[in-house]
């Protein structure tokens, strides 16, 4: 069993893996397909999200298992090295993947992510989490459900709402349990690849985390964009431009195929 993925762009171009966030899918990248003009995009879906299956084994919901999945996809596509882009929940996974596979990841791009960068307990106080253990889990009541998005183009919101509605409560619960273990603040120094944070300034609860990253980890480049949590959708042109510029200057980003 392997995670579902979709490819876009020239397979001979520099490769980029894109990983969406919690209760999202590959529809997260509908506004960013212009990146395929210069890169081979490999869009991967988390377990139980989009078209990826829900494994029976809980061991699939571990960082190590996800790293193995990313490596299996990379090898299947005969990609030597690829930059990685992680949106929200996906940020914690791509950062840990980059730390564990430094020879395969020449650059890392992330978006606002409380799971990866939240400073507990401050973040928890600012944004109480829903009880994923509730016997009857109403998916649309969860704050992460895209039905609550206010600044998405209608076609993008419709696609994301449909994929979130198709999720099972079990997929949400199991993904949520792993999400609670994705904080990366204590391991950022282990990532050798250059890293870019595209910060959606309208998400007020994340700005203290962005400020902390600027101060404590000056090696991480931070670009502020006029958007909220889903910065790649809400400021897609600026996001694409920031990613293209960053990847162009990231050392070691060579042709994507081996």
For each of the domains in the chain, give its residue range(s) and CATH number, in order of start.
5-249 (3.40.50.1820)
DSSP per-residue string spanning 136-195: S--GGGSTTSGGG-SSS-HHHHHHHHHHHHTS-HHHHHHHHHHHTT---TTTGGG--S-E
Provide the whole-model pTM.
0.93
pLDDT at 22 over 70: yes
CB 114 within 8 A of CB 126: no
Q: What is the pLDDT of residues 197-234, one digit of tens each?
A: 999 999 999 999 999 999 999 999 999 999 999 999 99
CB 230 within 8 A of CB 236: no
Q: What is the pLDDT of residue 175?
A: 97
CA distance 171 to 142: 14
> String of b and e for 183-201 (b: at least 16 CB within 10 Å)?
bbeeebeebebbbbbbbbb
CA distance 143 to 2: 28
Q: What is the pLDDT of residues 141-189, one digit of tens each?
A: 999 999 999 999 999 999 999 999 999 999 999 999 999 999 999 999 9
Q: What is the pLDDT of residues 24-35, one digit of tens each?
A: 999 999 999 999
pLDDT-based confidence at residue 46 (cuts at 50, 70, 90): very high
Q: What is the pLDDT of residues 77-120, one digit of tens each?
A: 999 999 999 999 999 999 999 999 999 999 999 999 999 999 85
Q: Give the helix ranges, DSSP H, for 22-62.
A: none
Nearest to 196 by CA among 68, 109, 71: 109
Q: Please report how many Cα atoms fall inside a 13 Å half-sphere around the Cα of residue 228, on the Cβ side.
A: 7
Dihedral of the alpha carbons of 180, 186, 187, 188, in degrees to the nearest 10? 100
């Amino acid at each position: 069993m392997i995670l579902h993925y979709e490819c876009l762009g020239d397979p001979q171009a520099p490769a980029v893996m894109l990983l969406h966030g919690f209760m999202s899918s590959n529809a997260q990248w509908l506004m960013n397909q212009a990146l395929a003009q210069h890169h081979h995009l490999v869009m991967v879906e988390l377990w139980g999200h989009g078209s990826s299956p829900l494994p029976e084994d809980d061991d699939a919901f571990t960082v190590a298992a996800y790293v193995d999945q990313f490596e299996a996809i990379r090898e299947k596509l005969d990609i030597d090295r690829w930059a990685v882009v992680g949106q929200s929940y996906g940020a914690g996974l791509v950062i840990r993947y980059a730390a564990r596979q430094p020879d395969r990841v020449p650059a890392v791009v992330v978006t606002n992510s409380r799971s990866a960068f939240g400073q507990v307990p401050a973040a928890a106080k600012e944004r109480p989490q829903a009880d994923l253990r509730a016997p009857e889990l109403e998916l649309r009541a969860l704050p992460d459900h895209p039905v609550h998005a206010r600044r998405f183009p209608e076609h993008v919101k419709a696609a994301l709402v449909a994929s979130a509605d198709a999720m099972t409560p079990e997929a949400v619960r199991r993904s949520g349990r792993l999400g609670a273990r994705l904080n990366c603040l204590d391991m950022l120094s282990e990532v050798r690849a250059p890293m870019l944070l595209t910060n959606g300034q309208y998400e007020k609860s994340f700005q203290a985390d962005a400020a902390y990253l600027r101060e404590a980890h000056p090696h991480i480049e931070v670009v502020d964009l006029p958007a909220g949590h889903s910065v790649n959708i809400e400021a897609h042109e600026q996001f694409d431009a920031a990613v293209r510029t960053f990847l162009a200057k990231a050392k070691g980003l060579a042709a994507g195929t081996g």
